[in-house]
Amino acid sequence: MRLRARGNTGFKNRVLDVVAEIPQGETRTYRQVAELAGSPDAYRAVGNIMKGNRNPNVPCHRVVKSSGEVGGYNAGGPRRKREILKSEGVLLA
């Protein structure tokens, strides 16, 4: 895996895969996820995908903004996301 070069619509699938590989206790910025997914400038699409994504295998709550903010969350609101991160042992800004 990991072949699909840019241009393939597999971006979404890639983002989910990358996020699913994020170790517990660690956080990645939308920028990093987009870059690992193959499009360092598609952080916009990343957030959009996470929003529409509902996969429990994808710890989207581990994806935060580059500013250090947790960003947003769909299942419970940003407040819930922050709580989860704290529960994982993540030091929030």
Partner DNA sequence: CGTATGACGTGCA
Partner DNA sequence: GTGCACGCCATAC
Shortest Cβ distance from residue 92 to DNA (Å)?
A: 15
DSSP-derived 3-state class of residue 44: helix
28 near DNA, rule: CB under 7 A: no
CA angle 31, 33, 37 (to 5 degrees): 115
The Cα 54–Cα 40 span in angstroms is 23
Of 19, 49, 58, 60, the catalytic one is 60
Known catalytic residue: 60?
A: yes
Binding site for DNA (CB under 7 A): 6, 9, 11-12, 29-31, 39, 41-53, 60-61, 63, 65-67, 69, 71-75, 81
